[in-house]
Every structure is written in C-alpha cells, then in structure tokens.
Structure 1
Amino acid sequence: MPIDAIVFDKDGTLFDFANTWGTFGRTMLLRVAENDSDRAAELGRIIGFDLETETYSPDSVVIAGTVEEIADALLPHVDGMPRDALIELMNAEAAAAPQAQAVPLGPFLDALKQAGLKLGVATNDSEHPALQHLESVGVKDHFDFIAGYDSGHGFKPGPGQLLAFAAHIGVQPDRIAMVGDSLHDLQAGRAAGMTTIGVLTGLAKADVLAPMADVVLPDIGHIPAWLADN
C-alpha cells in the first residue's frame, strides 16, 4: 500500500533523545529539589535518571510518558509542591530545552513535502512545549497537524492522536506511516492500522522495537530510501 502521509513522534525521533533530554533532566530535578544535588539524585532514581551521567534507564517514565505521568511518579517524594505547580515547572523546563535534531530537519522535511506527503507530529509531550521545540529549529510550519497528549486526542499507546491526524488530512490510516523510537509509538501505530517505522535515535534497541515495527531504521533520514523500495 502506498504511503501518502507520515506522522512522527517528537522526542527520540525528530530529535535525538539522549542529546536533548539529559540536560533537561538535571536542571528540572535540581529545580524541584531546590538545588540540593543529593535530593535531586534521589528523585532522579525514582524516574530512571542518573543525575551524574545525565542518562536515562531504558524503562524510565520520561522516555514515553506524559508530563502528568512523570509528575505522578515524583509527587509522593516532593514535599510542599502541588501537582499543578510541578507540571508547570516541568513544562517550562521542557519548553526551554535545546533540541538536538536527529538529522537536519529542514531539508529532510522539505524533501518529504516536495514528494507530496502530508506530515504530522504526535507526541506524549504537552502541546505547548512541542510547538516551541519545532519552532526553535524552524520546522513547525512543515507539519499539517501537531498534537500533544493534552490536545484532546488522548496519548500513546492509544491511537487517538494518529486517527485525528488521519481525519484532519483526509487520508486512510492504512496509507499512513507512524514513525517512533518507543514501543508506545509503534503500538499506537498498529492500533491505528498504520505502517510502523521504528528508529534508533531514542533509547530502545532494535530487538525491542522489531516485534511492533514493519521496519527498524537507524534514524529518520533513512525513510525516503525505504519508501522508494516499498
């Protein structure tokens, strides 16, 4: 079946996860811990983040979770900070995080648009930081549809964001590819009836993604060649 549209995950897919979110994890936790590094390290362990190395464990809630899920993991261990305030703090830190592009996104997305493909983003990040991240590298306007977990379509691994993208652009799901770096992304794609493409610019290894992926590629830059061959 020809592919007429592609919907991308954001973190770990359009942007390299480790090179983008390590610094965020450290600065966010230090803010929550009021610059107490020992306390920040303890909070990091709760969400699968090593403060010293600025790295995440493969099962970290940060990788595919929503900001609310991260807040709920931290909240029992944070005194005196309401849930809404914690979410607001994390969203502010996330929005300011410098983004490391998985490939040069401008030329990559230009080529896909010139090939006639409709493009979307479906992320478990909040919509506002997602828009800021895409704008920060000058590619927000390349996308026909951008949804965060709080945009009203649910969040991955549910298929709501992906089906909303399909409806928005008027393309049947079986003619759309979902691209992501986590099982949540690929499970959402399968649930929506889309082709699923795994990429290795997140933390999940190929053998983890393979059962849910029609193909696993090193990064999104390999997608045009794969589409040409299929």
Structure 2
Amino acid sequence: MLQVVLFDLDGTLLPMDHRKFMNEYLKELSLFVRPVIEPDAFKQALMASTSAMAANNSLVFTNEEVFWKDFENHLGERLPSIRPLLELFYAEKFRQLSYVAHPCQEARILVKAAMERNLRIALATNPLFPLTAILSRMSWAGVDDFPWNLITSYEVMHFCKPHPGYYREIAAHLGVRPEECLMVGNNVDEDLVAGTLGMKTYLVTDCLLGDPAGICRADWHGSIQRLAWLWENQGFPGESRVKL
C-alpha cells in the first residue's frame, strides 16, 4: 500500500534547463568568492569536492561532512575565508537565479493531491546542496510552504543519486518499506534506480535527462500535466502504463 510520494525537484516540480542552471550557478558563485580565490581555481575545487561527495558510500559521514573535508584538502588555509562567503551566497544571492527556472502550476497540484490522499511527501532532490539553496528552489516551484516530511539536503543525507543507498535512507527516515513509496522524477539514470529497490516510479518526460531508451524501466511515464490530470480526476496511476 502506497504511503509516501518522493518528488524530485529540478526538472520535475521545477522545470528548468539543467545545463543553463549549472552554468549560471557556477558563474555567479565563483564571482562571489573572487575576493578570496581565482574563479577557475575555485570551480575546479568545488567540482572535485562535489564529485567526492557524490561518490560517498558510507553512513559514517553526511554529505556535508564529506564535502567540507575534501574541500579543505583543496583549499587549505583559504577555507576559513571562503566558507562564510558560500553561506552568505546561499542565504542571499542564490535565490536571484530564479530566472533559469520555468515554474508550472502542476507542481502544487501534484503535492496537494498526495497530501489530500493522506500520503506523506518527501522532497527527493539530489542532496548536493545545503538546505538554504534547496528551499530557494522550492520557493521558485511554489512548493516551499507544504509540510514536507523530509527534504533531502546535504546536511541530513549520507548518499547521493543514483546510489541505491539514497533511496534506502529515505525509506528508513520515514519508517516505510521501499514497496510503499512512489518516486516521481525526470532523470532516467538517477530516479529510476528507486525501482530496483521495489519503489514504483513515474518518469516525468518534460525535462527528461538520461537515455530516452530507459523510459521502459519506469512503471509509468508522461508529462507533469498528464500526471496532475490523472491525480485530480482518476487518483493515482493504476497498473497500466501512463502514456503521453
């Protein structure tokens, strides 16, 4: 029996051009810390430590702890000067990147529909960012005011997508079995991994990422508009595949 709906954020609840978002984000962030470190050197260190965080395979350290430990290895004595700048950027400057996103009304419809069916909701974004940055993007999507049962920020998670441990950890946090969860996401490679653990999956195809041939691995697939219509008019998808 379905108990929890996991919603991906970027490209799912928040339609966006992922490449444009990353380009603008890295540009603005590297310029913000330029008084302390040359932008290209900073970006190289940031991407290396992000990769280290994504590769984490242990419950001993959170993603946040892995990131900052590796970041210190790259930046050394400059870290104490850079860390407060990063925190200030996420608290104040990051929200100004909203122009890269294209919010849609269906995001609120989907989350509200899940809550009206007494389902718990988890914001299952890849936990590479601090909570402040995730809350900003949730506000762009218009879903930040819902009572989320879990938001997978880098402060609380120990794995990243597409590691199966990421989905196991969400289920453990919420005290449910994977079979009691539905994952809604737009990334073939990262979001459909949930299905290997027994979670049902709906692949949102509007901002599809990954090999399109992998669509067949989803239990259902289609546009976010199609899913919103189904949830409003017919309830949650049944056993038949949803098509565009």
Identity %: 23
Q: Does the CA contact (< 8 Å) of 1:200 and 1:206 recur in 2? A: no
Q: How far off is 1:176 after superposition?
A: 1.0
State the distance in 2 between where 1:120 and 1:141 align. 10
State the distance in 2 between where 1:30 and 1:200 align. 34
- TM-score, normalised to structure 1, is 0.64
Report matched runs for 1:1-230 at 5 Å. Answer: 2-18=1-17, 21=21, 23-32=24-33, 82=79, 85=83, 88=87, 91-92=90-91, 93-98=93-98, 100=101, 102-104=103-105, 105-123=107-125, 124=127, 125-135=129-139, 137-182=142-187, 183-187=189-193, 189-202=194-207, 204=209, 207=212, 209-210=214-215, 212-218=217-223, 220-224=224-228, 225=230, 227-230=236-239
When structure 1 is superposed on structure 2, of 147-156 and 220-229 the one drifting more is: 220-229
Larger of the two Rg values belongs to structure:
2
Is there any run of 5+ residues in structure 2 with no aligned partner, and where?
56-62, 240-244
The aligned amino acid for 1:28 is: L
The aligned amino acid for 1:184 is: E
State the distance in 1 between where 2:161 and 2:218 align. 15
Q: Does the CA contact (< 8 Å) of 1:200 and 1:216 recur in 2? A: yes
User: Are residues 204 and 87 of structure 1, via their aligned partners in 2, closer, same or farther at CA, if it must alter by over 3 Å?
Assistant: same
Q: How far off is 1:88 after superposition?
A: 4.1
- TM-score, normalised to structure 2, is 0.61
Q: How much is the aligned-residue C-alpha RMSD, in angstroms?
A: 4.3
Is there any run of 5+ residues in structure 1 with no aligned partner, and where?
49-60
State the distance in 2 between where 1:40 and 1:144 align. 37
State the distance in 2 between where 1:203 and 1:28 align. 26
User: Are residues 175 and 94 of structure 1, via their aligned partners in 2, closer, same or farther at CA, if it must alter by over 3 Å?
Assistant: same
Aligned residues between the structures: 210
Q: Does the CA contact (< 8 Å) of 1:5 and 1:118 recur in 2? A: yes
When structure 1 is superposed on structure 2, of 18-27 and 126-135 the one drifting more is: 18-27
Counterpart of 1:56? none
Q: How far off is 1:120 after superposition?
A: 0.5
Q: Does the CA contact (< 8 Å) of 1:110 and 1:142 recur in 2? A: no
State the distance in 2 between where 1:11 and 1:178 align. 14
Q: Does the CA contact (< 8 Å) of 1:91 and 1:129 recur in 2? A: yes
User: Are residues 211 and 91 of structure 1, via their aligned partners in 2, closer, same or farther at CA, if it must alter by over 3 Å?
Assistant: farther
The aligned amino acid for 2:172 is: A
State the distance in 2 between where 1:94 and 1:209 align. 33
